[in-house]
């Protein structure tokens, strides 16, 4: 019996079993993959439907209330400030309360914040509400993504990540179409947003799945990261400056261009769909070429498209430009993350990507405020000019670094994954995949 037990514990035997399981999984239909995580995905969809609706609705409502562009920018910036601060406290809250109670607590806060906007109509009040909402929302996403990360088996992680991103972007895109439910009474859409966020509680709280453990938050050094990976650092921060302006100020920009509420929702949806569709070919191309060159080209293309926005002859042409711009702009953050992963050892992935998320969030926190100031000074077209300037800076800085440093310190070449910036927990999948590759390489000589 001893030799048989020893054979079964050998690396070669375990590798063969893993490969057999992987081959069987390849043939499994997608619904078998989704079934164990359907409660999590349902909660994600409902949460993002409510949150996506609320974000666009607030910009339009603030405009209707007569707030200046600068004030609207400050209101929208407050959400991203809360989101960024929440990345530092969400793990502690989950450890203290547990996943389900934390989710219920923060979902209740978010749902009540949505309704309080109608009861406390004040610019400073809305700034406070948006800050608290952002802090609570990133905690909700940390709960969801840590749970998703724990539920995903080794051979399923890539597909689980892909399904999650489809649900994520799809829900945000559909949420924009809920603006069409506006019947001329502003509180109706705020109530719908609150209801959807409240409904997100139901699948999570009735689940019987075991709760995962939250690991210690990885420590990271921005100075160290900036020293050996300046392009990814700039990509994270400047893409945040561009995308924060999109989420916060584009609804206002479209409304003042003469779009009605439904058309604003369509413009936002088309931009998000463009981002979802074009990320994949751009990312796959970057996997086989110099990723810095791809990042530079995409940033410059996005800057040129932003400059085309004031020249669009009509609403349809402007929507087409935003569709293409979304494909370019949405690709910048995942390209920067993939470039960073190319230069990191697997042990450094979580600390590095956590810093990237914080930088992206910090950029997004300043973006609506800066874009609002640009619109105040230049006029309505200050928004695309602001975006073009930010993206041109990213393209120019990347070109400078390519000429200054021709060879990069590199680890394993990373595989591009389409993504949006949510919490650092979902990036644990990338860390685990890289660690497992290192383990497999270490086992190969022993197996031979």
What is the per-residue pLDDT for 167? 85
Long-range contacts for 276-281 (Cβ within 8 Å, ≥24 apart)?
Answer: 276/165, 276/166, 276/169, 276/170, 276/173, 276/330, 276/418, 277/327, 278/324, 278/326, 278/327, 278/328, 278/330, 278/331, 279/327, 279/330, 279/331, 279/334, 279/418, 280/418
In this model, does residue 143 exceed pLDDT 90? no
Write the CB contacts of 52 (distance below 8 Å, at least 6 apart in sequence).
Answer: 171, 172, 173, 174, 175, 176
Sign (positive/negative) of CA torsion 333, 336, 340, 346?
positive
Percent of the chain with pLDDT over 70: 71
Write the CB contacts of 49 (distance below 8 Å, at least 6 apart in sequence).
Answer: 171, 174, 175, 178, 196
What is the per-residue pLDDT for 310? 94
Q: Per-residue confidence at 129, pLDDT binned at 50, 70, 90?
A: very high
Query: 156-170, 234-248, 341-355, 385-399 — which is least confidently predicted?
Result: 341-355
Does residue 43 contact residue 341 with C-beta atoms inside 8 Å? no
What is the per-residue pLDDT for 304? 97
What is the per-residue pLDDT for 216? 59
In this model, does residue 103 exceed pLDDT 50? yes
Average of per-residue pLDDT values in the chain = 80
Most distant CA pair in the chain, distance: 81
**57-79: average pLDDT:** 92
Selection from 239, 236, 231, 285 nearest residue 404 by Cα: 231
**309-313: average pLDDT:** 93
Cα→Cα distances 125→117, 120, 396, Å: 8, 6, 39
What is the per-residue pLDDT for 20? 43
pLDDT digit string (tens) for 317-329? 999 999 999 999 9
Does residue 332 contact residue 392 with C-beta atoms inside 8 Å? no
What is the per-residue pLDDT for 256? 92
pLDDT digit string (tens) for 9-67? 344 444 444 444 444 444 456 556 667 678 888 888 999 999 999 999 999 999 999 99
Does residue 431 contact residue 350 with C-beta atoms inside 8 Å? yes
What is the per-residue pLDDT for 147? 75
Query: Which pair of structure tokens corresponds to residue 199?
Result: 């409904």
Write the CB contacts of 16 (distance below 8 Å, at least 6 apart in sequence).
Answer: none
96-105, 243-252, 344-353, 423-432, range with greatest mean pLDDT: 243-252
**421-444: average pLDDT:** 50
In this model, does residue 224 exceed pLDDT 60? yes
Query: Which pair of structure tokens corresponds to residue 244?
Result: 């924060």
Distance CA 240, CA 232 (A): 12
Cα→Cα distances 440→24, 345, 417, 434, Å: 20, 15, 22, 10
Does residue 240 contact residue 367 with C-beta atoms inside 8 Å? yes
What is the per-residue pLDDT for 203? 85
Find the helix or strand (DSSP H, E) in which 30 lies.
Answer: helix 30-34
Instruction: Kindly report the pTM of this predicted structure.
Output: 0.81
What is the per-residue pLDDT for 37? 75
Query: 45-49, 170-174, 190-194, 401-405 — which is least confidently predicted?
Result: 401-405
Write the CB contacts of 446 (distance below 8 Å, at least 6 apart in sequence).
Answer: 10, 11, 12
Number of helices (H) and strands (E) in the chain: give both, helices first: 18, 0
**245-257: average pLDDT:** 93
């Amino acid at each position: 019996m001893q030799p048989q037990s020893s054979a079964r514990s050998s690396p070669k035997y375990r590798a063969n079993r893993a490969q057999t399981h992987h081959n069987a999984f390849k043939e499994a239909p997608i619904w078998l993959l989704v079934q164990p995580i359907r409660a999590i995905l349902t909660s994600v969809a409902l949460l993002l439907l409510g949150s996506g609706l609320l974000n666009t609705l607030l910009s339009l409502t603030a405009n209707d209330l007569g707030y200046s562009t600068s004030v609207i920018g400050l209101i929208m910036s407050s959400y991203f400030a809360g989101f960024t601060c929440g990345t530092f406290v969400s793990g502690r809250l989950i450890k203290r309360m547990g996943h389900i109670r934390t989710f219920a607590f923060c979902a209740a806060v978010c749902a009540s914040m949505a309704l309080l906007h109608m009861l406390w109509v004040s610019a400073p009040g809305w700034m406070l509400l948006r800050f608290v909402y952002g802090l609570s929302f990133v905690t909700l996403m940390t709960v969801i993504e840590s749970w998703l990360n724990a539920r995903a088996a080794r051979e399923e992680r890539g597909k689980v990540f892909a399904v999650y991103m489809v649900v994520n972007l799809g829900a945000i895109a559909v949420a924009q179409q809920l603006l069409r439910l506006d019947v001329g009474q502003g509180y109706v859409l705020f109530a719908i947003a609150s209801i959807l966020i409240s409904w997100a509680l139901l699948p999570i709280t009735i689940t019987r799945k075991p709760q995962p453990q939250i690991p210690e938050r990885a420590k990271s050094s921005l100075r160290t990261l900036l020293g050996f990976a300046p392009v990814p650092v700039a990509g994270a921060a400047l893409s945040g400056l561009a995308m924060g302006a999109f989420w916060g100020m584009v609804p206002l920009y479209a409304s003042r261009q003469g779009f009605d509420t439904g058309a604003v929702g369509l413009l936002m949806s088309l931009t998000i769909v463009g981002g979802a569709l074009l990320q994949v070919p751009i990312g796959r191309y970057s996997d086989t070429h110099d990723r810095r060159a791809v990042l530079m080209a995409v940033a410059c293309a996005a800057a040129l498209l932003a400059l085309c926005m004031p020249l669009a002859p009509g609403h349809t042409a402007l929507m087409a430009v935003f569709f293409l711009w979304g494909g370019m702009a949405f690709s910048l953050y995942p390209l920067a993350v993939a470039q960073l992963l190319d230069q990191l050892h697997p042990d450094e992935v979580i600390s590095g990507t956590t810093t990237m998320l914080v930088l992206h969030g910090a950029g997004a926190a300043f973006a609506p405020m800066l874009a609002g100031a640009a619109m105040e000074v230049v006029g309505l077209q200050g928004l695309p000019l602001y975006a073009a300037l930010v993206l041109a800076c990213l393209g120019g800085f990347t070109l400078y670094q390519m000429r200054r440093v021709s060879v990069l310190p590199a680890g394993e070449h990373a595989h591009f994954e389409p993504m949006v910036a949510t919490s650092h927990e979902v990036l644990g999948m990338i860390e685990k995949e890289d660690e497992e590759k290192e383990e497999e390489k270490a086992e190969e000589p022993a197996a031979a």
